[in-house]
Amino acid sequence: MKYKKIKEGVFLERPNRFIAHVLIDGKEEKVHVKNTGRCRELLQLGAKLWLEDFTEEESSRKTKYDVIAVEKKTAKGRLLINMDSQAPNKIAEEAILNGTLVIPGFGPELTLVKREVTYGKSRFDLYLEGVDSSDPEKEKKAFIEVKGCTLEKDGTAMFPDAPTERGVKHIRELIEAKKAGFEAAILIVIQMKGVAVFRPNDQTHPEFGEALRDAKKAGVHVLAYDCEVIPGTVELRDPVPVDLTVK
C-alpha cells in the first residue's frame, strides 16, 4: 500500500481523538489522526511523524494532512509504526491478491475476494471464495476479520489498546460462521517490523482475549503478520507467532 505524498512533522499535542497539532516546516498545523485508538505510547511530545500531504489537492477537507506513521523510541532503537487504522484492510486484501498471504485451507488461486460482507449481525472485513487445498473439486468460502495492531512492548505486539466490544462481537460471529461450515480467520496486521510474538492484551480487555481463545478452540484460524513500513509504503510481510496463553 502506497501513500501519494509524504511530509515529516513533530507531534505537539492531541486535543481529541481526531485531531493533533503538529509542527511542520516550523509552523504549527492542525492535522487529522487516522486512528481513534488511544495511541498514548506513540503520540508523545516531540515524536517524529509522517503525514500524508493533501496541500496540493482541491477538496473540502478541513485539514491539509493525515497522520500515517510515527517513530517510536525503544530500548533497541527507533521503531517505525504505521498508525493508519484504515490501512490494515487494504494491506490484507493486497497481500491475499498478490499471494503473500494464503489463508489456511485454500489453494493459491481464489475466485472471489470481496470487502465488507455481512454475515449474521456482523460485517466482516473480507470474504473469500476459492478451491479447497485438499480437494480441488471442492469450493471453500471464508470470512476474514482484520485487526490492525500498533501496540508494542518489549518486542511483543498486543491488541487491543482499548476495550473493544465490537471486536468481541465479531469474533463470536466468526465462531458461528465456522460452525455453519465456512472457513474463518482472524488476521492481526501488526503495523511494524521487529516484534517477536503477538498476544491479546488481557490486561486492557480480558473479554477480547477470552473470545480469541474460544475462537481458536472452535477452529477459527488466528493469524498474525508483521509489516514492512517505510514512511510512504506499508506491506504485509512475515508471520508472527501467536501466544494465547493467559499471562
- The answer on 120 and 219 residing in a single domain is yes
- Is the pLDDT at 233 greater than 90? The verdict is yes
Question: What is the spatial distance between Cα 24 and Cα 2, in angstroms, rounded to a whole number?
Answer: 21
pLDDT at 224 (0 to 100): 98
pLDDT at 86 (0 to 100): 93
Q: What is the mean pLDDT of the chain?
A: 93
- The answer on 100 and 77 residing in a single domain is no
- The answer on 126 and 54 residing in a single domain is no
Higher model confidence: residue 47 or residue 74?
47
Higher model confidence: residue 27 or residue 109?
27
| Residue finishing a domain among 82, 99, 130 | 82
- The answer on 206 and 92 residing in a single domain is yes
Higher model confidence: residue 61 or residue 8?
8
pLDDT at 107 (0 to 100): 80
| Domain contains 26 | yes
3-state secondary structure the chain: CECCCEEEEEEEECCCCCEEEEEECCEEEEEEECCCCCCCCCCCCCCEEEEEECCCCCCCCCCCEEEEEEEEEECCEEEEEECCCCHHHHHHHHHHHHCCCCCCCEEEEEEEEEEEEEECCEEEEEEEEEEECCEEEEEEEEEEEEEEECEEECCEEEECCCCCHHHHHHHHHHHHHHHCCCEEEEEEEECCCCCCEEEECCCCCHHHHHHHHHHHHCCCEEEEEEEEEECCEEEEEEECCECCCCC
- The answer on 98 and 202 residing in a single domain is yes
| Domain contains 188 | yes
Question: What is the spatial distance between Cα 35 and Cα 18, in angstroms, rounded to a whole number?
Answer: 7
Question: What is the spatial distance between Cα 157 and Cα 223, in angstroms, rounded to a whole number?
Answer: 13
| Domain contains 204 | yes
pLDDT (tens digit, 9 = 90+) per residue, 135-148?
Answer: 888 899 999 999 99
- The answer on 92 and 67 residing in a single domain is no
| Domain contains 194 | yes
Q: How large is the average pLDDT for residues 4-16?
A: 95
| Domain contains 27 | yes
- The answer on 40 and 117 residing in a single domain is no
| Domain contains 247 | no
| Domain contains 49 | yes
- The answer on 197 and 100 residing in a single domain is yes
Nearest to 83 by CA among 11, 12, 34, 40: 34
pLDDT (tens digit, 9 = 90+) per residue, 54-72?
Answer: 988 777 788 999 999 999 9
Question: What is the spatial distance between Cα 86 and Cα 84, in angstroms, rounded to a whole number?
Answer: 5
The domain that holds 191 is classified in CATH as: 3.40.1350.60
Our count of domains for the chain comes to: 2
Query: What percent of the chain is predicted at pLDDT more than 70?
Result: 100
19 — pLDDT class (breaks 50, 70, 90) = very high
Evaluate if pTM is beyond 0.85. Answer: yes
Residue 53, all three cell numbers: 500531504
Domain that holds residue 141: 87-239
pLDDT (tens digit, 9 = 90+) per residue, 147-160?
Answer: 999 999 999 999 99
Q: Is 172 exposed, middle or buried (0-12, 13-18, 19+ CB in 10 A)?
A: middle
